[in-house]
Amino acid sequence: MPEVVIISHPCLAWPKCRNLFVASDGWLLAISRDPLKDAAVRLTQEGYDPASVLIIRDANDLVPEQRSTIAEAAKL
């Protein structure tokens, strides 16, 4: 199954939010308080395969924080 890796950075402009960047190209996917769900919904809107594995990791850590399929995370 294909994987989409999202890099999560703290958002300094909005408390408790995260900036979510697609690791492969640096595209700012979303600014979110619910990173897994919001990333999955946005990726679905952009045409990514819902069966793809979504991996979110902190910018300062190589270990994945969250892992799910796009469909499961978006509750499709």
pLDDT digits (tens, 9 = 90+) for 51-71: 999 999 999 888 878 999 999
What's the start-to-end Cα distance of the chain, in Å? 18
Give one DSSP letter per residue of 8-40, joined into a string. EEE-SSSTT-EEEEETTT--EEEEESSHHHHHH
- At residue 63, the pLDDT reads 81
- Per-residue pLDDT reduced to its tens digit, 22-36: 999 999 999 999 999
59 token code pair: 């910018």
Query: Cα(4)–Cα(15) distance, rounded to whole angstroms?
Result: 26
Q: What is the DSSP letter of 76?
A: -
- At residue 61, the pLDDT reads 85
Q: Which residues pair with 4 in a beta bridge?
A: 54
